[in-house]
């Protein structure tokens, strides 16, 4: 086997091994929780992972990774023989999983074999010390060989495909849609009135059939890229457990919806977000056991991660039953950090005040030590979700808990867009970022301190001079669109709304376009690029260019 052929096999091998480790880890965390509640660790639950680990060992050996294969073999031996299965044993096994995962990352990065075996050796020494007694410990729950092996069936029904190949397929389907739209556009424009009624109807029927097939192909292609969020959610108990251990807290985790699927790009982006929110809930939401006792709460805090699919949107809720958010403290910090003045802090609606938590540096600055090594703050959570075309909402009840509600599209390749016209130019806006549209009412237009504002639902919303920036007339546009952006709402006067629809999204790849107000583009039926406004970028761009 050539070096190149070998490297091609590494990714599927590493993905399979990671899945095996992830599933094993989830069982270890669950068994640790049961043990803390006084139950006996189920040896058979751990042994249920032996077939998957055995496959990983075999594949590693086949790929010439002798050390990695030997290490997994030792892990198998530990699972088979280690007694007693106490808290220390489970903790040691969790460390082995971490080491195995690190080794996989190194192998993916080009290492030929496992390197981080120090902890394995340490553990094996401990095992050897207790090995004499291992056989004497009765295993009341020994049914490993009879356990159903799910892995084999799954493998036969699925096929690992390189992401690049799926990307290429999706690009080609995007091209097919464009070609179809262009054809339908030309036929409608050029042939209208030239054909007799029967021929026109036949032609229209053929176009409709083609449209349906194209939509089905698009939908099927999108589905091939869908991954279960289970790959992230299965990590949640471990992440919560580690955070609780570090902070001296106790947590019970409930995860719902790991069968929900989303595009691989969405799942990858959400991984970091969910990890952060889970740690955030343990660190800052859930109180220490003593404090909870005093409050009459159960010592172990409750952390819930619920994922659900609603049509083309996935919602993710990360909630806890902790302290909630101290709004007085939040207002004081906003003033202290110069975000708002004292009057504005005092008068801001709760919804507005909660958005301050998503400003860069706001939530973590004075807790840098505590949070060191996290990598992301709530501002990054917000930015990531927005970049996916979604939104984050925060709900809380003081003393009773906090809930982050994220909504993201299932796929970023296709989005629901509204087409608008501003200064005689057409643009698109993601529907998820539109709060309201309507006729512009001059009576609602105010200019406090010379700044254009629009009174919208008892709130004064800034009006962006987008039409003027495009060379249009000042104060033009009979309609108004209210957009949601990172730090609030903004209004834009527009000429008209053309309509709504789904479109294939294409990124604006070149760095020269990054400073504009657009998130990407979509190729319209006439072959032109329709530019998609990103409210966050629009606000920043407008600030930079003025009028």
Q: Of 352, 369, 384, which is closest to residue 487 (Cα–Cα)?
A: 352
Q: If you ran DSSP here, which 8-state letter would residue 282 be given?
A: I
Closest residue by Cα to residue 496 from 425, 390, 420: 420
Residue 443 binding another protein, by CB under 8 A: no
Q: Which is nearer to another protein, 378 or 523 (CB)?
A: 523
CB of 161 to another protein, least distance (A): 20
The nearest distance, CB 504 to another protein, in angstroms, is 9
What is the Cα–Cα distance from 270 to 388, expressed in whole angstroms? 9
Using CB under 8 A as the binding rule, whether residue 183 contacts another protein is answered as no
Q: What is the dihedral of CA 238, 243, 247, 253, to 10 degrees?
A: -60
Q: Which one of residues 80, 425, 445, 455 is an interface residue with another protein (CB under 8 A)?
A: 425
Q: Closest distance between another protein and the C-beta of residue 241, in Å? A: 40
Q: Which is nearer to another protein, 428 or 440 (CB)?
A: 428
Query: Which residue, 337 or 425, is less far from another protein as judged by CB?
Result: 425
Q: In this complex, which beta carbon is closest to another protein, that of residue 377 or of residue 521?
A: 521
Closest to another protein by CB, 179 vs 295, is 179
Query: Of 224 and 514, which has the nearer Cβ to another protein?
Result: 514
- C-alpha to C-alpha distance for 7 and 149, rounded to whole angstroms: 28
Stretch that binds another protein, among 150-158, 169-177, 255-263, 278-286 (CB under 8 A): 169-177
- Report, in Å, the least distance between residue 537 CB and another protein: 11
Which residue of 162, 290, 470, 474 would you call a contact of another protein, by CB under 8 A? 470
Is residue 409 near another protein by the rule CB under 8 A?
A: no
Nearest-approach distance from CB 469 to another protein, in angstroms: 7
Q: How far is the CB of 414 from another protein (least distance, A)?
A: 14
CA distance 504 to 521: 9
Give, as ranges, the residues between 484 and 543 that touch another protein (CB under 8 A): 506-517, 520-521, 523, 526-531
CA–CA gap between residue 72 and residue 80 (Å, rounded): 12
The reply to whether 106 sits near another protein by the rule CB under 8 A is no
CA-angle at 10, arms to 6 and 16, nearest 5°: 140
With CB under 8 A as the rule, give the number of residues binding another protein: 31
Q: What's the farthest any 2 CA atoms get from each other in the chain?
A: 93
Task: From 17-25, 166-174, 335-343, 449-457, give the range in contact with another protein by CB under 8 A.
Answer: 166-174
Q: Which residues of 130-146 are buried (b: 16+ CB within 10 A; e: fewer)?
A: eeeebeeeebeeeebee
Q: Which two tokens stand for residue 42?
A: 């189920």
The two tokens of residue 435 are: 């709060």
Distance CA 112, CA 100 (A): 14
CA distance 166 to 171: 9
Handedness of CA 454, 460, 461, 467 (dihedral sign): positive
- CA-to-CA dists, residue 30 to 311, 313, 391, 515, angstroms: 32, 30, 32, 48
Q: Does 171 bind another protein (CB under 8 A)?
A: yes
The answer to the question of residue 361 lying near another protein (CB under 8 A) is no
Q: Which stretch binds another protein (CB under 8 A): 64-72, 82-90, 151-159, 170-178?
A: 170-178
Toward another protein, which CB reaches closer, 295 or 529? 529
Is residue 546 close enough to count as binding another protein by CB under 8 A?
Answer: no
Q: Rounded distance, CA 45 to CA 35, Å?
A: 13
Is 175 a binder of another protein (CB under 8 A)?
Answer: yes
Query: Based on CB atoms, which residue is closest to another protein, 167 or 258?
Result: 167
Residues 123-142: x where in contact with another protein by CB under 8 A, - otherwise, as a string: --------------------
| Rounded Cα distance, 139 and 145, in Å | 14
Q: What sign results for the dihedral spanned by CA atoms 231, 232, 234, 239? A: positive
Nearer to another protein, 171 or 306 (CB): 171
- Counting contacts by CB under 8 A, is residue 159 touching another protein? no
CA geometry: angle at 25 spanning 322 and 44, to 5°? 115
| Count of positions (residues) in the chain | 547
Footprint on this chain of another protein (rule: CB under 8 A): 171-172, 174-175, 178, 425, 469-470, 506-517, 520-521, 523, 526-531, 544-545
């Amino acid at each position: 086997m050539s070096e190149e052929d070998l490297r091609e096999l590494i990714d599927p091998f590493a993905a399979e091994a990671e899945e095996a480790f992830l599933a094993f880890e989830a069982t270890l965390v669950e068994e640790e929780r049961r043990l803390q509640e006084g139950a006996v660790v189920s040896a058979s639950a751990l042994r249920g992972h032996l077939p998957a680990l055995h496959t990983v060992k075999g594949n590693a050996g086949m790929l010439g990774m002798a050390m990695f294969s030997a290490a997994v073999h030792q892990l198998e031996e530990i699972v088979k023989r280690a007694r007693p299965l106490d808290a220390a044993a489970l903790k040691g096994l969790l460390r082995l999983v971490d080491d195995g995962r690190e080794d996989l990352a190194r192998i993916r990065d080009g290492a030929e074999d496992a390197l981080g075996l120090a902890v394995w050796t340490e553990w094996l020494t401990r095992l050897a010390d207790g090995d004499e007694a291992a056989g004497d410990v009765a295993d009341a729950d020994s049914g490993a060989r009879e356990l159903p092996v799910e892995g084999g069936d799954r493998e036969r029904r699925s096929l690992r495909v390189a992401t690049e190949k799926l990307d290429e397929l999706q690009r080609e389907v995007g091209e097919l849609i464009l070609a179809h739209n262009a054809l339908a556009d030309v036929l409608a424009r050029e042939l209208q009135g030239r054909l007799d009624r029967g021929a026109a109807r036949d032609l229209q029927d053929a176009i409709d059939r083609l449209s349906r097939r194209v939509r089905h192909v698009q939908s099927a292609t999108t589905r091939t890229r869908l991954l279960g969020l289970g790959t992230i959610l299965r990590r949640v108990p471990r992440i919560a457990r580690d955070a609780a251990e570090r902070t001296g807290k106790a947590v019970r985790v409930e995860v719902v919806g790991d069968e929900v699927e989303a595009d691989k790009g969405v799942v990858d982006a959400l991984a970091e977000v969910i990890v952060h929110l889970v740690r955030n809930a343990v660190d800052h939401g859930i109180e220490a056991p003593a404090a909870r006792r005093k409050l009459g709460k159960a010592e172990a805090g409750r952390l819930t991660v619920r994922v659900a699919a609603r049509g083309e949107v996935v919602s993710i809720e990360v909630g806890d039953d902790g302290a909630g958010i101290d709004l007085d403290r939040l207002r004081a910090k906003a003033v202290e950090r110069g975000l708002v003045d004292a009057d504005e802090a005092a008068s801001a609606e709760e919804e507005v005040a909660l958005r301050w938590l998503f400003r860069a540096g706001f939530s973590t600055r004075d807790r840098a030590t505590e949070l060191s090594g996290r990598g992301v703050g709530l501002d990054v959570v917000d930015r990531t979700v927005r970049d996916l075309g979604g939104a984050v909402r925060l709900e809380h009840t003081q003393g009773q808990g906090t809930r982050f509600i994220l909504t993201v599209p299932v796929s970023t390749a296709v989005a629901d867009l509204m087409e608008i016209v501003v200064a005689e130019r057409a643009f698109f806006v993601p529907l998820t970022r539109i709060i309201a549209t309507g006729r512009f009412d001059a009576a609602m237009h105010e200019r406090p301190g010379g700044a254009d504002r629009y009174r919208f639902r008892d709130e004064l919303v800034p009006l962006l001079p987008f039409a003027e920036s495009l060379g249009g007339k000042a104060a033009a546009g009979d309609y108004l669109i209210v957009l949601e952006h990172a730090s609030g709402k903004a209004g834009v006067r527009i000429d008209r709304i053309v309509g709504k629809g789904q479109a294939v999204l294409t990124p604006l790849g070149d760095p020269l376009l990054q400073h504009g107000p657009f998130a990407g583009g979509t190729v319209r039926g006439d072959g032109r690029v329709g530019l998609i406004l990103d409210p966050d970028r629009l606000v920043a761009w407008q600030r930079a260019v003025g009028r």
